[in-house]
Structure 1
Amino acid sequence: MSATAPIKPIAAEAACYSTAAAILSWDQETRMPPEAARWRANQLATLSGKAHELQTSADWRDAIESALASASSPREQANAREMKRRFERASKIPTELVKREAALTSRAKGVWAAAREASDFPRFAPVLEELIGLAREKAECWGYPDEPYDALLETYERGATTALIGGLFDQVRPQLREIATAATRRSAEQQPTIPEGPYPVAAQQAFNREVAEALGFRFSAGRIDSSAHPFCTTLGPSDIRLTTRYDEADFTSSLFGVMHEVGHGLYEQGLADDDFGTPAGESVSLGIHESQSRLWENHIGRSRAFWEKWYPRAQAHFPCLASLPLDAFMRHVLRSEFSFIRVEADEATYDLHILLRFDLERQLVNGSLAVADLPDAWNEAFGALSGLCPPDDRRGCLQDIHWSMGGLGYFPTYTLGNLHAAQLFAASQAVPEIADSVKSADYAPLLDWLQKHVHCHGATIEPAEIIRLATGREPSAEAHLQHLRDRYLT
């Protein structure tokens, strides 16, 4: 009998509560009528509370101790150790706080959506005050080595600290700004563009599905829907939901959104269904998760080899592309310009968006920046990075959903994901048969390599250890910076 056998019934019950809440959250983002928001908050609070009670119960603690005592294989031991770490962390948070957070974030998402639509930050500001206050409460419950942000960061990136991330970002900031400035200047000289279209949504949906299937996403275990903000969520084993949004003036916006979310989906579909609800069947961190999405979106999706195969299919779906040569289309795909919206930013400028958010939310949490001053602080910082000033809050501090979800500490994982993606992709391309298959737009060998070197571990080892084992090197920014220089400056 497996050492985790006593745990699995409790883990399965807790996972049922958590995934039922995830289904309601998915529905809230895709289909729920606005007037249902108040009751939805009650539903989510109840389910989150039930899951937390189970995951901090004496039965759960005893099952973990039994697993620790009887685990024989290294994987079983690592699984049990990570379960104990999570139990101890969860036990520091009262169930009342968990329920209050679920209700608040459910309400906050609706307030944020309305404020963003109206470009009205003062409408969202009082709720953001509540969210930051709740985040500080959680940080005090957990404890932290240096500052409250450490505790929040640990939620999303195991083993990371604010000092470590801040030092890394300070190290790469000058190089990222240099690359972004040179890339945008070069792109402006080329003036890349594509025909105005329109690119009908139905045609985009058909093309996106073709590409997603070719990358390996199993539609028998997932689907794609529409939402205001693209995301991927797991509603259970073999139930992975992706969303995107559409722009009839540029089909690549939804395509790259889908490829990004497919990367997340492939990771979730690559985890062990039998271990669902335990660390062995779950992703290890958002930094590793983001490495998968950025690898497929950027290293594959924006490569010439990809488009040599897929551009004829794009032309078939969108006849207005028929007279545009591939070389001209590639200039559009690899265009670089400073833009206000993070999710629409190109590779060369993207990380600057993350550095800005890391600085600001760290200040919000430690109290050195007041919520009321956020729009001005955002605009000033964005101007220093890009030379642009957002014309309104919708394209400034209200553009992202994360804070309304309680996701303080989330943003740094996007840049960590970029660094890991480049390092993993470089390691995979050192295998001749994988490099050859990528050149011919056959992605099965690459996906198999990622499943064997990243997905298979679940959350049984640290994120940094996954990178070390897969690449033979410590995690670093070197491969990412070199990738940007090779793609945008040569």
Structure 2
Amino acid sequence: MSTALDHLRTLARERAVVASAASVIGWDQETYLPGKAYAWRADQISWLSKRAHELATSQAYGEALAAAEAEAAAPALVAAMRRDFDRATKLPGELVAREAQASSLGKQAWASARKTSDFATFAPHLETLLGIAREKAERWGYEAEAYDALLDTYERGVTATGIAALFDTLKPRLRDIAAAAVERSRQRAARLPAGPYPIREQQAFNAKVAASLGFDFEAGRIDTTAHPFCTTLGPHDVRLTTRYEIDDFTSSLFGVMHEAGHGLYEQGLPAGEFGLPSGDSASLGIHESQSRLWENHVGRSRPFWEKWLPVAVDHFPQLAGISLDDFLAAVHRADFSYIRVEADEATYDLHILLRFGLERRLVAGELAVKDVPAAWNESFRDLIGMTPPDDARGCLQDIHWAMGGLGYFPTYTLGNLNAAQLFASASSRPGIGTAIAKADYAPLLAWLRENIHDRGAVPTPADLIEAATGRPPTADAHLAHLEERYLGTREPVAAG
């Protein structure tokens, strides 16, 4: 017999069909769309986004939700759906469509501005997207500041004040670790052998690694783009992208391992629950924990390269003359970089602290859009000690603001904290640590499936981490990991 919850699920999946169609053409926009087609594509995405929003906020959906609440079946799932519904109904369809179109056009303008290093040509689009973000925040409501409402889009339960307090605590230790790691790397000056590393061989090697981690190529694929990302187009359809450097095969490799971490999470979500909170990721901070765990805790570890360096030599013969210790020293090389996505673990979080401070000021109206380049450069000098030579390597390097993603950046550091805590906890489990030491990651993936992936977005991110690790989220494991890897005397190996 059909129940109220069954009817609610049907309506939610109808909305998911439309939203996933928008994802398909959004993926095409980032990979293969001809340059002259952007305006029409913006109209397509705008219409689909508005239609998905209409389905998610319709009277029929609201009535089905109320009936499911009265039925009292799956109360945690229904409560999560109620939260999403109440939040969605505060935004009119016109605003959703306007944001989708502005974002689509904004990404095109950003890509052009980045090529010419001309922030001024992107600034009007940022003004528009910033205005939309403020409008959304006002409609959602907040207690302390508008930025809280935007943060809640990506990470339930956190506030700007809480993030600022966390980052203020992290900042001095991160700066000390970064400075010491950079100095140590400069003394050793370890480098990979010179290229070229043929792209075809990189693609073959990357695919072997991704498959070995558990990424299902019958339910996903890897393509090429300027800005690596992972997107889910539907159940059993997860798309990864990367970019290639002919002189450094590890650039695309770690990009693939990072995006494969996202992809493993998406492939591990209950496919039968697609379109429901029970089949969705918990937050961006949890999502980022999966990519960081596989990229950094696995992909840059000694056990991983004990297994994979000989395979890499088969693809790139110039690696035959490098020792494992020298290879790891090159992989762990720390240096200050203008570009966030090229930053090493030791310096990466400093980039996030910078972006969080700037976009919080932007949303509050304390920083004008026209002043972003100067403010960026000033903050970069303060945190990293260098001045970006141009906007392309400064305030134009990231796509997030062009996507309307204000409030997104803090989740990267939250992901680093979560990744370290999850990896430390998993490694301490009987059998998992021993398997990791042998570069066997099936038990680790199974543990993540049980404790993170299968649980969807019904628990809050903080509750999910505490249930998995036995303690609330903290920075302890992340800082210990950085100190051990970059300042210690040996590569840590998890104990079983």
- TM-score, length-scaled by structure 2: 0.97
Number of residue equivalences: 487
2:386 aligned residue (385, 388, 408): 388
Whether the aligned pair in 1 keeps the contact of 2:4 and 2:64 (CA below 8 Å) is no
* Amino acid in structure 1 at the alignment position of 2:59: A
> 2:407 — aligned with what?
409
Displacement of 1:2 in angstroms is 6.5
> 1:229 — aligned with what?
227
* Amino acid in structure 1 at the alignment position of 2:194: E
> 2:33 — aligned with what?
32
d(CA) in 1 for partners of 2:129, 2:341: 23
* Amino acid in structure 1 at the alignment position of 2:143: P
* Amino acid in structure 1 at the alignment position of 2:108: G
2:366 aligned residue (365, 368, 377): 368
Whether the aligned pair in 2 keeps the contact of 1:284 and 1:458 (CA below 8 Å) is yes
**How do 1:31-430 residues align onto structure 2 when only pairs under 5 Å count?**
31-72=32-73, 76-430=74-428
> 2:487 — aligned with what?
489
Displacement of 1:38 in angstroms is 0.4
Q: What's the % identity of the aligned pairs?
A: 61
User: Which has the higher mean CA deviation after the structures are superposed, 379-388 or 39-48?
Assistant: 379-388
Q: Deviations over 1:313-367 (max 9, x none)?
A: 1111011111111111111100000101111110000000000000000011111
3-state SS of paired residue (1:382): helix
> 2:494 — aligned with what?
none
Whether the aligned pair in 2 keeps the contact of 1:3 and 1:71 (CA below 8 Å) is no
Displacement of 1:69 in angstroms is 2.2
d(CA) in 2 for partners of 1:194, 1:415: 28
Displacement of 1:3 in angstroms is 5.8
Displacement of 1:146 in angstroms is 0.7
* Amino acid in structure 1 at the alignment position of 2:18: Y
d(CA) in 2 for partners of 1:137, 1:180: 38
Q: Deviations over 1:4-51 (max 9, x none)?
A: 311122111111111111111100000000000000010001000000
d(CA) in 2 for partners of 1:71, 1:263: 36
Displacement of 1:432 in angstroms is 2.6
Whether the aligned pair in 2 keeps the contact of 1:216 and 1:266 (CA below 8 Å) is yes
Q: Which runs of 5+ in 2 are unaligned?
A: 489-496
Q: Which runs of 5+ in 1 are unaligned?
A: none
Change (3 A) 1:50 1:182: same
> 1:21 — aligned with what?
22
d(CA) in 2 for partners of 1:350, 1:68: 44
3-state SS of paired residue (1:396): coil
> 2:491 — aligned with what?
none
d(CA) in 1 for partners of 2:216, 2:3: 29
* Amino acid in structure 2 at the alignment position of 1:145: E
d(CA) in 2 for partners of 1:192, 1:33: 41
Q: Deviations over 1:358-409 (max 9, x none)?
A: 0000011111111111111111111111111111111100000000000000
Computed over aligned residues only, the root mean square deviation of the Cα atoms, in angstroms, reads 0.8
Change (3 A) 1:195 1:473: same
d(CA) in 2 for partners of 1:157, 1:188: 37
* Amino acid in structure 1 at the alignment position of 2:438: S
3-state SS of paired residue (1:393): coil
3-state SS of paired residue (2:6): coil
